[in-house]
Homo-oligomer: A and B are copies of this chain.
Amino acid sequence: MQESPFAVVAKPGDRVADLSTPRPIIDEDRMERNIARTQAYMDQHSLNFRPHIKTHKIPALAAAQIAAGAKGINCQKISEAEVFAAAGFEDILITFNIIGAQKLERLGALNDQISDLKVVADSITTVDGLSSYFASTKPLTVLVECDTGGGRCGVQTAEEARTLARRINDLPGLTFGGLLNYPKPSSAEAVQAFFSKALSLLQTDGIICPIVSNGGTPSLFEAHLVSAATEHRAGTYIYNDRSMVRTGHCSEDDCAMHVLATVVSRPTVDRAVIDAGSKALTSDLLGFSDFGKVVGYPEAVIAGLSEEHGVIDLSKCGDRRPLIGEKVRIIPNHTCVVSNLFDTMVFHREGVVTRVESVAARGLVW
């Protein structure tokens, strides 16, 4: 993505404290620790690890994840996969039901371009659509998406998984790649039960299941409890956020992303207004009742957001309250959606800018 002539770009050596706000910033040291810690856990349990790039959308970061030991990457849409294929990634799993002539054509081009493209399907409609396109070209690998309790996409039972796997196996143009889910947090037992039942049904049919892919950052460190799985996928872990602190997945000191904001108004004793609103922090609550955590002001509550203003309730704070012009750091509720709002991401070590990366896979229509 080309940099806009209107973008205010930081450069290495700049002090983060001097940057224009609002702006998300990434602490390189914390990010590196998050990458290393997660990969070490996966290595310890002999699980393949597949980072989900939706969180950062930056090829250089995926390269660091691969360099640390990750097997391949996970994308959520074709446009993301296109950007990362162009950057040289060969093992890409798109965890989405791909439907419609236009998308199939782009998927075909991607499949020709890289060595190891995989997608998922949870219905006959999706599978038949894929087969009708790929029958006359390089075959596509398809995993069956299973709903092990997450309540999103996925076949509902192990029997349905078997039926769909058979169909993938039988139809021209497709290779059965395995099973996949997006679980609800802390449901290792249910995931294991679903996968092991499906695996035994596939074994009965003589269908080989190369991959069993479990996912999610919230359940990342429970991944070893699902012995049926061959790999785990996670995205948020690289930056972490307030929702991950709540699950006990990490501490606030593991949160690599902060949204830097400036206090622009103090209309009353109990109210501060910052220049970060829903177009910087997003409205994602993820179960919280407020819109992020202000570092250094634990009693401050980001009570409301309009598009470019955040209203902070200071009524529970003591005498020390942020002043007009003061810059504050906010741990966002959900890091992945913040990345998606900005064309560039600034990285730093101990407050000094190290690099500025283009958030290459954002703003695209699929």
Contacts and interface: CB of A to CB of B under 8 A. Distances in A.
Contacts of A68: none
A283 B6 CA distance: 27
Contacts of A153: 264-265, 267, 273, 309
Contacts of A309: 152-153
A278 interface: yes
Interface residues of A, number: 76
Interface string A97-132: 101101100100000000000000011011001000
Interface in A333-366: 336-337, 340-344, 361-366
Interface in A256-304: 262, 264-268, 271, 273, 275, 278-279, 282-285, 304
- Counted per complex, copies of this chain come to 2
Contacts of A165: none
Contacts of A152: 265, 267, 273, 306, 309, 311
A99 B8 contact: no
Contact of A99 (B126, B264, B282, B362): B264
A155 B267 contact: yes
30 contacts: A5-B86, A6-B361, A7-B365, A8-B102, A8-B106, A8-B364, A18-B102, A20-B366, A21-B366, A23-B365, A76-B307, A77-B308, A96-B264, A99-B262, A99-B264, A122-B267, A123-B324, A125-B323, A125-B324, A125-B325, A153-B265, A153-B309, A275-B366, A278-B284, A282-B282, A283-B337, A307-B340, A340-B341, A362-B363, A363-B363
CB-CB nearest 5 A-B residue pairs: A2-B2, A343-B363, A97-B264, A153-B265, A125-B324
